[in-house]
Amino acid sequence: MLIAINKAHYPVTVLGPGQRIGIWFQGCRIHCPGCVSQDTWAADPGKRMPLHELVDWCRRVGANGCDGITLSGGEPFDQPQALGALLDALHDWRSSAGLEFDILCYSGYPLKRLRERHAPLLKKLDALIPEPYVDTLPLSHLWRGSQNQPLIPLSARGERIYHDYLDAAADQGSKRLQIEVDGNRLWSIGLPARGDLAALEAQAAERGLRLDHASWKS
Ligand code: SF4
């Protein structure tokens, strides 16, 4: 089984509680205006990798402590078979190793459509943040990009972990963005408030650093 992945990173601390593994799917058919992850839109065959390699990597980095796994994109539900196989593998790992991490998934599809078309996949998640990103709505809630996006626990584990965060304000977290450097590439992880990325670009320019090919402007 192949899975198209834009990137994977550990530790991620701005997309769900605790120290997490982040996996960004490659490919998104939704194209929300104002999306900051436009580099994930193309269904790029060059980004495909064997699923077992991704899961092996998760097991390796997760040995350092993993509170949760966040699936984002791109659009995870645009690869339903790969998403299902990944979730099965993560469940196997969690139960065989006696771990307690939760699985949180973002989707730009409406909750109603996900319930109609992907109910078996939803059963494998602990929590879901659905609905398209709406650039004209404010970033108001923790871990959500725009005000229309709810946080929905989908399992007993999800209820337990996410109950206190359902209405948490965006500024309740200690930080919104993680910036990671990979060679001459700069990764921004998290959900920027309106103006955050322009401010980042301006501050970089003041220090003589020019940001080319910014994913929020492609
Ligand atoms: S915000 Fe998410 S769902 Fe919307 S276009 Fe960007 S990657 Fe796709």
82-96, 119-133, 188-202: which range is least confident on average? 188-202
41 close to 48: Cβ distance less than 8 angstroms: no
Give the 3-state DSSP-derived string for the chain, with helices as H, strands as E and coil as C.
CEEEEEEEEEEECCCCCCCEEEEEECCCCCCCCCCCCHHHCCCCHHHEEEHHHHHHHHHHHHCCCCCEEEEECCCHHHCHHHHHHHHHHHHHHHHHCCCCCEEEEECCCCHHHHHHHCHHHHCCCCEEECCCCCCCCCCCECCCCCCCCCCEECCHHHHHHHHHHCCCEHHHCCCCEEEEEECCEEEEEECCCCCHHHHHHHHHHHCCCCCCCCCCCC
Of 26, 31, 149, the one to substitute when testing ligand 1's pocket (max ligand atoms within 8 A of C-beta) is: 31
14-18, 103-107, 149-153, 189-193: which range is least confident on average? 189-193
Proportion of the chain above pLDDT 90, given as a percent: 76
Of 29, 75, 136, 148, the one to substitute when testing ligand 1's pocket (max ligand atoms within 8 A of C-beta) is: 75
133 pocket-lining for ligand 1 (C-beta < 6 Å): yes
Contacts of 191 (CB under 8 A, 6+ apart): 14, 15, 139, 143, 144, 145, 170, 176, 177
The whole-number average pLDDT for the span 140-164 is: 97
Q: Which atom of ligand 1 is nearest to the CA of 73?
A: 7
Please give the Cα distance from 135 to 126 (Å, whole number): 27
pLDDT by residue (tens digit) across 1-49? 999 999 999 999 999 999 999 999 999 999 999 998 999 999 999 999 9
Query: pLDDT value at position 218?
Result: 56
Q: What angle do CA 166, 11, 23 make, to 5 degrees?
A: 75
pLDDT by residue (tens digit) across 52-95? 999 999 999 999 999 999 999 999 999 999 999 999 999 999 99
Give me ligand 1 centre to Cα 27, in Å: 9
26 pocket-lining for ligand 1 (C-beta < 6 Å): no
Q: Taking the complete model, does pTM exceed 0.85, yes or no?
A: yes
Structure tokens at 174: 């200690």
32 pocket-lining for ligand 1 (C-beta < 6 Å): yes
Closest CA to 114 of 80, 137, 87: 80
73 pocket-lining for ligand 1 (C-beta < 6 Å): yes
Q: Is the pLDDT of residue 107 over 90?
A: yes
CA distances from 140 to 109, 158, 163, 189, 198 (A): 19, 21, 17, 18, 19
